[in-house]
Amino acid sequence: MSSLSSPRPLNLDLHDLGVAQLAARLAAGSISSVEVTQHFLNRIGQHAQLGAFLALDAEVSLAQARAADARLAAGERTPLLGVPLAHKDVFVTRDFPTTAGSKMLANYRSPFDATVVSRLGVGPGGAGMVTLGKLNCDEFAMGSGNENSAYQKVQNPWDTSRVPGGSSGGSAAAVAARLVPAATGTDTGGSIRQPASLTGITGIKPTYGRCSRYGMVAFASSLDQAGPMARSALDCALLLSAMAGPDPDRDSTSLDLPAVDYATDLIATRVYGTSANPLKGLRIGLPTQFFGAGCAPDVLAAVRGALSEFEKLGATLVDVSLPLTELSIPVYYVIAPAEASSNLSRFDGVRYGHRAANYTDLSDMYKKSRSQGFGDEATRRIMIGTYVLSHGYYDAYYLKAQKIRRLIAQDFQTAFAECDVIAGPVSPTVAWKIGEKSDDPVANYLADIYTLSSSLAGLPGMSIPAGFGEGGMPVGLQLIGNYFKEAQLLGAAHQFQLATDWHQKAPGASA
Ligand code: GLN
């Protein structure tokens, strides 16, 4: 298929409306949730070749839309009521199968919904959003290009010969192509921010613990975090307000902090300064290590362009240093596989997942079921993880990595003494061609250089559209905040998006 990178002019079809705009029309009664849901289901059908969806069930979605319409008819007015979204396929759902992109979980049906899913959904106490289906991802969220899905590759709607990023590649492609107004994603080492960057949408990974991990298929539990992906910071703020919050009975690592209305904060208050100078006083730190030779010139040019917009809004740029940035790759690729090897041990063919058809005894059954169910990348990580945790290697690898992880987190605190927000690229290049890195795991790992350190530190980070690079492909700007500063990130991003229109550009493929 040809390159579809030239932005098309914005018209106002239903699918061009964001979450906030759809919610306003639903609340005013000018459209119904059933109409909106049907419209998006039709678009998903028309763009099936993107490979973004792993599960759809129009009957289920329309029944949810009718439930939302009934709540609207009864006079309920909550910010997300009746707006559709789709979930990354690592969130378990009662109404749709959940595979985590793995053959291991083919046809798996969860008996319960993930906390994030029920908080957003139409059930009791939920925000009233309608689920359009489940979105493709790398197997168990391990990957950077969505090429590790056991089911199908996902195409980048800006150029269908390229990857959408990963692991939340289905979420990113679906939002960018306007198949959904918003989606959930998960980010362990960049999986919300990097695909958001590579597809020209907005995504935020909150502080570790801000959203409950209950019902998220576990990859690396000390890193996994849920977050929203949408076109604008405002839409992300609306979703995050519903997703976030303590879940003490179900996730002991969820933060015991009161829920925040991020969207009202954005609209009602200016985080800094005045209307002419809305970001006056905001100090943006630029880590020298994020602006070196490792980053492609087209990406750096777009990032610098976006930063000069921030300066026009009143922010000041300061140089900071994150000296251990380079070590974040080996540290992450020890710790994440170590945790993964433990988390994936539950897939034994007995309690969950695929079981081999023929086997001789119990250990043969384990061996065959796991060999058949896991793809190459999951298998590689189980082996690396088992190795670094084994007696004799634990101190040399796992313990050492944990110590450096702590130093990486300390470096951020040193940097935050000089700035409020840290900025830089998300990915060292624009989206690469499908197949270009699929046989080279290390090439994929290296592309995570700018997202891993903040994940290891547990800090919130986001990607916002910042222009275009080589091949007309989108480039994202990363903003990293200190702990619990999601509102500050969203506020800065919102002011940037009020002044620029990168986030409103749509790929030609979404026509
Ligand atoms: N690309 C990273 C990995 O492969 C991050 C994945 C993620 O954040 N889930 O592990």
Q: Which atom of ligand 1 lies closest to the CA of 447?
A: 1
Q: Tokens at residue 400, please?
A: 């050492």
Whether residue 461 has its Cβ less than 6 Å from ligand 1: no
Q: Which two tokens stand for residue 233?
A: 């910071």
Expressed in angstroms and rounded, the spacing between residue 447 Cα and the centre of ligand 1 is 10
The residue whose CA is least distant from atom 5 of ligand 1 is 189
Average pLDDT over residues 464-489: 97
State the Cα–Cα distance between residues 143 and 356, nearest whole angstrom: 26
56 burial level (CB within 10 Å; 0-12, 13-18, 19+): middle
What CA–CA distance (Å, rounded) separates 217 from 495?
Answer: 35
Specify the pLDDT at position 3: 39
Average pLDDT of span 96-122: 97
Q: Is 223 in the pocket of ligand 1 (CB under 6 A)?
A: no
Q: Which atom of ligand 1 is nearest to the CA of 191?
A: 8
Whether the pLDDT of residue 270 is over 70: the answer is: no
Q: Is residue 167 among the annotated active site residues?
A: yes
Residue 4's pLDDT band (cuts 50, 70, 90) = very low
Catalytic residue among 110, 144, 191, 510: 191
Tell which residue, 264, 158, 176, 229, has the closest CA to residue 504. 176
Domains defined along the chain, listed by start: 14-266 (3.90.1300.10)
Say yes or no: CB of residue 187 within 6 Å of ligand 1. yes
pLDDT interval class at 276 (50, 70, 90): confident
Q: Which pLDDT score is estimated for 510?
A: 55
Of the ranges 53-62, 107-116, 267-276, 335-344, which one carries the lowest mean pLDDT score?
267-276
Least trusted range by pLDDT, from 231-245, 324-338, 495-509: 495-509
Give the per-residue pLDDT at 274: 67
Total-model pTM? 0.96
Q: Does 294 score more than 90 pLDDT?
A: yes
Tell whether the model's pLDDT for residue 11 goes beyond 60: no
The pLDDT score that the predictor gives to residue 268 is 60
Answer yes or no: is pLDDT of 302 > 60: yes
The H-or-E segment that residue 238 falls in is helix 233-243
Mean pLDDT of 261-281: 75
**Rounded (5°) CA angle 28-31-35:** 155
Q: Which pLDDT band, with edges at 50, 70 and 90, does 259 fall under?
A: confident
For every residue of 417-486, DSSP letters joined together read TT-SEEEEESSSSSPPBTTSSTT-HHHHHHTTHHHHHHHHHT--EEEEEEEE-GGG-EEEEEEEE-TT-H
Q: Residue 5: what pLDDT?
A: 47
pLDDT for the residue numbered 351 = 86
Which run of H or E residues covers position 504?
none
Q: Which residue has the higher pLDDT, 258 or 147?
A: 147
From ligand 1's centre to the CA of 32, what distance in Å?
A: 38
Say whether 400 is catalytic: no
pLDDT at 1: 36
Catalytic residue among 167, 427, 453, 454: 167
Atom of ligand 1 nearest to the CA of 220: 9
Cβ burial, residue 472 (10 Å; 0-12/13-18/19+): middle
Return the amino acid letter for 374: F
Cα-to-centroid distance, 336 and ligand 1 (Å):
9
118 is catalytic: no
Which ligand 1 atom sits closest to the C-alpha of 223? Answer: 8
Which amino acid type is present at position 98? T
- What's the pLDDT score for residue 2? 37
What average pLDDT score do residues 317-340 get?
98
Could you report the per-residue pLDDT of 144-202, keeping only the tens digit for each?
999 999 999 999 999 999 999 999 999 999 999 999 999 999 999 999 999 999 999 99
Q: Mean of the per-residue pLDDT values for the chain?
A: 94
SS3 323: coil
Rg of the chain taking only CA atoms, in angstroms: 21
Q: How many A from CA of 18 to the centre of ligand 1? A: 27
pLDDT at position 136, please?
Answer: 98
Mean pLDDT of the region 223-241:
98
pLDDT of residue 6 exceeding 60, the answer is no
Q: What is the pLDDT of residue 10?
A: 45
The CA 448 to ligand 1 mean position distance, Å, reads 8
101: pLDDT strictly greater than 50: yes
Tell me the CA–centroid distance for residue 264 and ligand 1, in Å: 32
Distance set, CA 59 to CA 65, 84, 95, 206, 333 (Å) = 10, 14, 10, 33, 42
| 3-state DSSP assignment of residue 208 | coil
CB of 448 within 6 A of ligand 1: the answer is yes
Do the beta carbons of residue 56 and residue 41 sit within 8 Å?
yes
| Confidence check: pLDDT of 206 > 80 | yes
**Per-residue confidence (pLDDT) for residue 127, from 0 to 100:** 98
- pLDDT higher at 2 or 318: 318
Q: 220: CA distance to ligand 1 center in Å?
A: 9
Mean pLDDT of 330-342: 98
Given the residues 88, 134, 153, 368, the one annotated as active site: 88
Q: Is the CB of 167 under 6 A from ligand 1?
A: yes
Ligand 1 atom closest to the CA of 219, numbered from 1:
9
Order of all β-strands in the sheet with 84-88: 53-55, 130-135, 84-88, 182-187, 225-230, 202-205, 461-468, 474-481, 421-425, 283-287, 316-320
